[in-house]
Each structure stands twice: as structure tokens, then as C-alpha cells.
Structure 1
Amino acid sequence: MTSLSFTLTSIEAFCIRVPVKMPIKVAFGTFRDRPMVLLRVVDTEGVEGWGEAWANWPASGAEHRARLAIDLGERVVGRRFESPEAMFQQLSRELEVLVLQTLEVGPIAQVIAGLDIACWDLVARRAAKPLHQMLSDREVSRVPVYVTGINPDQPEVFAAARQAEGFKAFKLKTGFGHDKDVHNLQAMREVLGLDAVLTCDSNQNLDLPSAVAFAQAIAPLNLSWFEEPLRVDAPEADWQALARASSTPLAGGENFHGLQFDQALASPVLQVIQPDITKWGGISGNASVARRAVAAGKRYCPHYFGGGISLLASLQVLAAVGGEGLLEFDAHPNLGREAVVGDLLPVQDGSVPVPTGPGLGAVPDLARLVGHQTWTGRIQA
């Protein structure tokens, strides 16, 4: 039996911010650079593993998360854990009071997630197995993908270019006004054709009347899902009312954590479950959510908008659990992705290959990123 136990001797954090040439617009703001927080762990056998902590907004929060990873890493190095999941659960319990003390529920959860990913990568590398094979016995060679981060300015042009590259599924950022959003989706459907998978994401931007009106307006376009139309903390009655009024399946989960997933899985409101592997849970938490989502007949479509480590981690969990889910794939230029993934994930016929190398399947090329590092730190036993 493959051993999952480990003792870490060091944790390193790398904060990276790369300016973008074309700003990326979402309902809550504009991305003018792409931040990334990478974590490298090493065990007593000298095996390393790589993780990533969520840090995509605001960019100025990335350095905070990198420093926090070193501070919290003091609780991890030198301790023996029976598995990455055991570390995830133990560290989460130990930090509950700190969360209450600081109200840093997000950054703390994101650092724990990054450490969890790194430790899973480590134990899989030590076993010389792809990470998905540590999570299940499924035989899988490819996973389907969809283009994300499509701006509201002539989205059909960007999407058509991606379609020519081999993509078959697309998600438009909405929340920029009813008429503009509906027009953009109509233009995309006309250009991409009836066979293309089309979805939209409002980033919690609408109230119930606006969401109902929008759902009714887009019904003829046959979207595969309507993502985060309402605030995550909107009354359950509002979500139920929207689900009844919408012929388009509702999606969400990137801003859930912990017990919120239990509630979402028990409810018929969300048909597409979208946790972010770097925002909460890492491999341990997300694999559990994904398995239960598939068992409940829902689609597990992991949320992603980060660097290459989080993309590979999301891919590995999706490959392990199967179902009808799609991998979110950022098709914008992104050095934080490219310096990890390289040419490992060529898109063909709407899907990408599952890496066959050990662990996540790749490691960051730090030489390509060194000019964009804004902070680095290290803690050792």
C-alpha cells in the first residue's frame, strides 16, 4: 500500500505578479496584473511538492498570503502527518480560533488549501504516480475544457478565435447590464453555432428580479449554466425562486467553504457545483465535494482563474472523479500558467490530455518567473 504519511522539513512561499497587456474585466473589477502565490514543501526524504494559494483579487493581497503561508507553516514543519488530508483537517481545527480572532477566513483557508495541494503533490511524486491515481482507480486520458475570462467587449470575436484553436465550450462574463449581456450572448451563439457549449457568469451581481428577467431572456439560447447570478448569502427562498423561474441550470460554489457545500449538495437549486481548489479545501476538501456532487447527479466543474499549479490540481481532481464536468481553462496569456504547464495541455477537440508524470505532472520554471517575484520566504524545521 502506498504510504501517505510525511514530515516536512521546509516550506517556501513565492509571491509573483505579472502585468497583463489586455485588462480582464469582471463584474466586480478589472484585472491589470495576474498575481500568484506558489508554495514549495520538502519532506525528510528530500522529495518536494508544489501548491498554490488563491490570490487573484485584489492583486495587493498576494504578498499578504505569501507571508501568511510562512507564518502558518511554523505549525506544520517538523510534524508527522499520516496523510495530506489528516494535515488539512488538523490544521483547519487548530486555526479556527485564529479565524475568529482575525476575521481572515479567506486568506487562512487559502493558505491551508495551498499547503494541502503541495503535500498531495509530494506524496504522489514519492509514489511515482500521477495525482489522480492516488485519488481513484479510474482510467482516464483526457478531460473536457471550457474557455473562461471572456470580456464583455466583442466577446464573439475572442470566442471564435478560441473555437478555431480547438475549444468547444465558452463562458461569458456578464453583470454589465441586461441589454449588453443578452446581446453578447446572442452574438456568441450566432457566431459559435448551436453545437457550442455556452455558459455565463454574473459574479453575484444581480438581485432576484434582475436575475429572473435575465434567465427568461437567455432561455432561447440554451446555455449550459447560469453562474452566480445572486449573492452567495442571498436568502434561500430567493435562490429557490430563481431556480423555478430559470430553464437554465444554476451554478455556483467558488465562494463556498466547509458546510456550505453540504447544504448545496442537499439542495436541488444548484445543478453545477464549482469549488475553487485554491480558495478552500485543496485536494482533500475538493475531492470529497467532487465525489459527492457526482454521486448526487450534479456536475462538478472546478472553478479556476489562477496559475499553473491550481490548473493542474483542478484537472487531477476532475480526472479522478469523472462525471459530466468541464475544466475551466483560462485562454488569456498568463505567464503564471505558462511557466508551469508549458505545452503540457494542448487543446484538441474540446479537451486536454491528463498528464502522466508524477504528482501534478509539472513543476514551475522559476527562472521564467524570477523577474516578477515581489516577495519570497522560507521556514524550516
Structure 2
Amino acid sequence: MPLITAARAYLVDLEVETVRTDALQTFVKQETLFVEIDTDDGLTGTGYSYTIGTGGRATLSMLRDHLIPLLPGLDAASTETVWRTLFLHTKATTVGVITALALAAVDTAIWDLKSRREGLPLWQVAGGHRPEVPLYDTEGGWLQLSVDELVRGAAASRDAGWRGVKVKIGKPDPHEDLERLVAVRSVIGPGMDLMVDANQSLTSADAIRRAHILEPVDLFWIEEPLPAEDVAGHERLAAATPTPIAVGESIYSVGQFREYLQRGAAGIVQVDVARIGGITPWLKVAHLAEAFNVEVCPHFLMELHVSLTAAVPNGRYVEHIPQLRAITTNRIEIRDGVAVAPTAPGLGIEWDPDAVDDRRVA
């Protein structure tokens, strides 16, 4: 068995590729946590996690003070054992975002090692359902964009052959949201999926009202309409509208997803590798969703999620938000509106060590 001999963690500040504003915040920077793990069979696995502007140093402290010291001597091939050992050691701070982000940085490194050792790409090691998945675009739909800018972005996505576009909502007047969406729908036509994202900005009553106001544009889903802890509110909303409700980017445990699914409060699962605590629990959420006949369309991290979405039979979409191009030497392959899973062993992300080092802050 390959034993872990050493591990290290560090923090990189990554600039945003474009201005991104939603109903509650502006994406200022990506604080990116890296973990590197060495094993006695001569391999090194690299994993990562992220926060949007805050919490990076707190997560790094969790890694350095509590998780990294536990790794030497563990069997790197036993993904479940490694994850469970770290999870139980941090039980006092779970379920919580800082712990989940720290666990994810380690767990993705373990899966990188696993894939490299087996000589297979991640999408095959994690399930191997199919080598490619459809893309939808978020980059052309941010809240600060004008109607004309939204229309240009939607037209570009249509011309590129992508299967859907997502637009941020949360304007003070819901009819302004509708006006923006009508303009986008008129450009993409009925053949493309149109999604919206409220980023947890609405009240329960407002969400129900807006869902009805927006019905004429035939939405594929309404994403994060309410605060993630309001499961009952999502349940009421799901019962009040035929539009599927999408949740997941702000949920940090398998058990929380189970509650949403059992109560019929989620029609689309958007589990995020970093926020759920790694690939190990991500796959459990995906299979749980499959048991409820619900599709998975993960949040962000397209460079990693393309492989995981391809791995499972209920993976429906990959979200297009490029964010790693400044520190990687490869790009996600896009062909005829679909994202192609990397074929190289490991996570499929080729890091640029010099670019990473230039942005290292801790």
C-alpha cells in the first residue's frame, strides 16, 4: 500500500478573469488553497479548494494546524479512510464551510494520486459514464450587465453551440428581471435552456411571486432563490411552481442534500467539490441524487467538475466560468457545445508552477 510520507499546504490569491456581480456580492478574488501529498511509491498528488475573497487564511490554518499533521503514514490508496480520519478529527467544526474547504483540498490531492497510480483519467476512475457533457454559460449573464450586453453574450453562446445560458436575477423590481430574460430568450430561441440564479437574495414570498412572473420565459431552473438553510422555504417554492429549483453550492454535507431531496425541495443538485468537502462526498451526493431521479449540475470549478459530471449517469451540465487560466497550462476542451473530460491520468489540470508561485501569499 502506498503510504503518505509528506504533505504541505499553501494559499494563492487568484485575480478574477472578469467582473462578476450577483444580487448580494461582487467576486473580488479567488483565494485558492493548494495541498501537495507525497507517497513512498514516488508519486505526488496536487489538490485544491477555493473561497471567493474571504476565509482563505482560516482554511489554511485548519489545514496546517489540524489536517496536514495527520497525513503521514496513512494509506493514500484508501480514499474513504483518509477522508473519514480527517473528518472525525475535525468533528467539533463540522458541518462547516472552513472544514469542508480544507477537507476538499486534501481529498482532491488523494484522488489525483489515485488516478495517477491507476494510469486513468479522473472521469473513468470516478465512474466512467461518458467522456463529455453539455455546457451552459454563466459569464455572459452577470447582474451588472446591461440588456444589450446580456443579448450579446447570449448570442455568442448560441453561435458557439452551447446548450444553455444562465442569467443572474435579483433586481429590485421583478419585472426588470423579466424584461432582461425576455430579451435573452428572444435571442436564443426555444431550443436553448435558460437558467436564472438569485444567489439566496429573495424572501420566501418574493421567490414564489417572481417564479410566477418569470414563467413566460420557460426557465430550466431557478437557482438559490432563498438562503440555503431555509429548506422549508424551498419546499414551499418547489410546490408552488413548475420550474425546477436548483440548490447546492452553499450546502456542506451529504445529510443536508438528503433532507432537500427527501422533502422535494430540490429539482436540480449543484453540489460543489470544494464546499462539500472533496470528491469522496461529491460522488455520494451525486449517487444520492440519482436515487431520487434528480440530475446533477455542479457549481463553478469547471476544470474539475467536467470529469466528475462525466463520471456519473445523472450528470447533466457543466457550468462555464473559467477561473484557472492564469495558473494552468491547459484549457478545458470544448467541442460542439460540450465539455470534453481530460484524458490524462490525474485530475486533468496542468498547473503552471511559476504562475502559482508568483501568486502565493501564505
TM-score norm. by structure 2 comes to: 0.91
Change in Cα spacing, 1:250 to 1:293, as seen in structure 2 (3 Å) is same
Q: Distance in 1 between matches of 2:325 and 2:108?
A: 16
Q: Distance in 2 between matches of 1:225 and 1:369?
A: 36
The separation in 2 between residues aligned to 1:225 and 1:7, in whole angstroms, is: 45
Higher relative contact order (CA 8 A, sep 6+): 1
| 1:27 matched residue in structure 2 | 23
Aligned Cα root-mean-square deviation (Å): 2.1
2:132 alignment counterpart: 142
Residue of structure 1 in register with 2:113 after alignment = 122
* Residue 32 of structure 1: how far off its partner (Å): 2.6
**Alignment partner of 1:15: what SS?**
strand
- Per-residue Cα deviation, 1:65-84 (whole angstroms, up to 9, x for no partner): 23432222112223335511
For the residue of structure 2 that corresponds to 1:49, the secondary structure is: strand
d(CA) in 1 for partners of 2:277, 2:234? 24
- What letter matches 1:367 in structure 2? D
Alpha-carbon shift at residue 26 of structure 1 (Å): 1.5
Deviation, structure 1 residue 323? 2.1
Does the aligned pair in 2 maintain the 1:148–1:171 contact within 8 Å? yes
Which one of 220, 234, 239 corresponds to residue 234 of structure 2?
239
- Structure 2 counterpart of 1:278, which letter? A
Equivalent residue, structure 2, for 1:371: 358
Give 1:307's aligned residue.
none
Matched, 1:342 2:337: no
Secondary structure at the counterpart of residue 31 of structure 1: coil
1:229-308 to 2 correspondence within 5 Å?
Answer: 229-234=225-230, 236=232, 238-258=233-253, 259-304=255-300
Runs of 4+ in 1 over 4 A off after TM superposition: none
- Going from structure 1 to structure 2, the CA distance change for 1:7 and 1:265 (only over 3 Å counts) comes to farther
Distance 2:54 2:114 in 1: 32
2:303 and 2:154 map into 1 onto residues whose CA distance is 23
Q: Secondary structure at the match of 2:70?
A: coil
1:167–1:347 Cα contact (<8 Å) kept: no
Q: List per-residue Cα deviations over 1:141-198 (Å, max 9, x = no partner).
A: 2111111242121222223233333422111122232233222211111122221111
**What's the offset of the Cα at 1:338?**
4.9
Structure 1 counterpart of 2:63, one-letter code: A
Which residue identity does 2:354 align to in structure 1? A
**1:347 aligns to what SS in structure 2?**
strand
Alpha-carbon distance change, 69 to 324 in structure 1, aligned in 2, over 3 angstroms = closer
Structure 1, unaligned stretches of length 5 or more?
A: 305-309, 376-381
Contact 1:240 1:269 in 2 (8 A): yes
Q: How does 1:1-381 map to 2 (within 5 A)?
A: 6-20=2-16, 22-56=18-52, 59-71=53-65, 72-80=67-75, 83-97=78-92, 99=93, 105-138=96-129, 140-149=130-139, 150-152=141-143, 153-154=145-146, 155-177=150-172, 178-234=174-230, 236=232, 238-258=233-253, 259-304=255-300, 310-323=301-314, 325-331=316-322, 334=323, 336-340=324-328, 342-343=330-331, 345-375=332-362
**Following the alignment from structure 2 to structure 1, what is the Cα–Cα distance between the partners of residues 59 and 319?**
23
Change (3 A) 1:130 1:232: same
Deviation at 1:284, TM superposition (A): 0.6
How much does 1:13 deviate?
2.4
CA offsets, 1:180-225, max 9 Å, x none?
3222211111122221111011111111221111100111111110
- Report if the CA contact (8 A) 1:53-1:65 is conserved: no
1-structure distance, mates of 2:242, 2:116: 44
How many Å separate the matches in 2 of 1:53 and 1:22? 20
How far off its partner does 1:18 sit?
A: 3.1
- Unpaired runs of 5+ in structure 2? none
Contact 2:234 2:245 in 1 (8 A): no
Letter in 2 for 1:339: I
CA contact (8 A) 2:330 2:350 kept: no
CA contact (8 A) 1:252 1:273 kept: yes
Distance change in 2, residues 1:294/1:220 (3 Å):
same
Instruction: Give the residue type in structure 1 aligned to 2:20.
Output: I
Question: Which deviates further from its counterpart, 204-213 or 361-370?
Answer: 361-370
Counterpart-to-counterpart distance in 2, 1:286 and 1:211: 28
